[in-house]
Chain A
Amino acid sequence: MVAAMKIYEMSATMTGVDKTASTVRFKLADNATIDSVAPITIPTGTMGSKRSFHKKLRMYCATAPSTSIDNLQMYTDGASGFGTGVSVNASNHGKTWAANATPALAGGKDVFGFTSGAALNIDAVDAAAITTTGYGGDIVALQMEVATTAGPGALTDETLTFSYDEI
């Protein structure tokens, strides 16, 4: 049987929310709701930058594969469409969920530095091949940072690509 993998957003609790046909919004609140509430404010003067709550994403196997799934990767097209003063960092958070917060993401690197040729390995910690339903692979942690040079308004959508190999 062909497997069905989904992306879950783990905000507020480690239970996670199925993001099928949805998206992820960075905000100053710890929830997975797509709305315009709690936007990231643009800092002024010497305030430095403003960071969103962390976003944690993880792959979830909804239908088990006939054999196994492995080689989980995450990457971007390498070009940020967010504009001046807006950056997003990403890191492999391992397999143990921790509460989301706004301090700088530990080990975070520019998400647009992860490309098809240099992807973020997301089965480095939870390295076992996926053979049953449930969460599998590592948690991807993301955080948006807005600098004083950013402009107001909603940003253009960006896409992360998740890939996996299925036998």
Chain B
Amino acid sequence: MIYNIKTVYDWEIELKDGSIITEGNKFKFEDVIRCSYISKLPLFPRHDIVFQDFKLVKRFARAFMGWNSIVGEYLHCCITDKFRIYIKSTNGSCIITPQYYEYRITL
């Protein structure tokens, strides 16, 4: 089966009341206790971010495409008040950066 690079990873956020969010951002960020990125590909790792001494600031995905409109990389990003985590959809690796670091890939 061929996967769309933008859907290789699903994400879910768990709030302190136990509810699970899988879409949008209409929830209280201060209530987040876990943010997980779950791969559909068995060879790619699952990434779990457990919020203890830091807080969620923003969650988004960053797409990179050429002028042929083909997405060559799709980064999931979780920004906390202490650091950022970027997860690559092309190989499942993760990169931890300072809070304000903007990671960009050149195709």
A interface residue numbers (CB < 8 A to B): 2, 5-7, 18-24, 57, 66-67, 71, 73, 75-78, 115-117, 119, 159-167
B interface residue numbers (CB < 8 A to A): 4, 6-7, 23-25, 59-70, 77, 104-107
* A75 and B63 contact, Cβ closer than 8 Å, known pairs A21-B68, A66-B23, A66-B24: no
* A21 and B7 contact, Cβ closer than 8 Å, known pairs A165-B62, A166-B61: no
- Given A2-B61, A167-B24, 16 more A-B residue pairs with CB atoms under 8 Å apart are A19-B69, A20-B69, A23-B68, A57-B67, A66-B23, A67-B24, A78-B106, A116-B106, A119-B104, A159-B66, A159-B107, A160-B67, A163-B62, A164-B62, A165-B60, A167-B61
- The reply to whether A115 and B106 form a contact with Cβ atoms under 8 Å apart is yes
- A to B contact number (C-beta, < 8 Å): 82
**B6 → A minimal CB distance (Å):** 5
- The reply to whether B70 and A21 form a contact with Cβ atoms under 8 Å apart is yes
* A159 and B105 contact, Cβ closer than 8 Å, known pairs A2-B6, A2-B7, A165-B62: no
Which one of B60, B67, B107 contacts A167 once the chains associate, using CB atoms below 8 Å?
A: B60
Which one of A77, A116, A162, A166 contacts B67 once the chains associate, using CB atoms below 8 Å?
A: A162
* A166 and B69 contact, Cβ closer than 8 Å, known pairs A2-B7, A67-B24: no
**B57 → A minimal CB distance (Å):** 13
Chain B residues within an 8 Å CB radius of A67? 23-25
- The reply to whether A160 and B66 form a contact with Cβ atoms under 8 Å apart is yes
- The reply to whether B62 and A24 form a contact with Cβ atoms under 8 Å apart is no
Chain B residues within an 8 Å CB radius of A76? 106
**B58 → A minimal CB distance (Å):** 8
Among A2, A5, A73, A115, residue most surrounded by chain B Cβ atoms (within 10 Å): A2
Alpha-carbon distance between A161 and B75 when the two chains are bound, in angstroms = 14
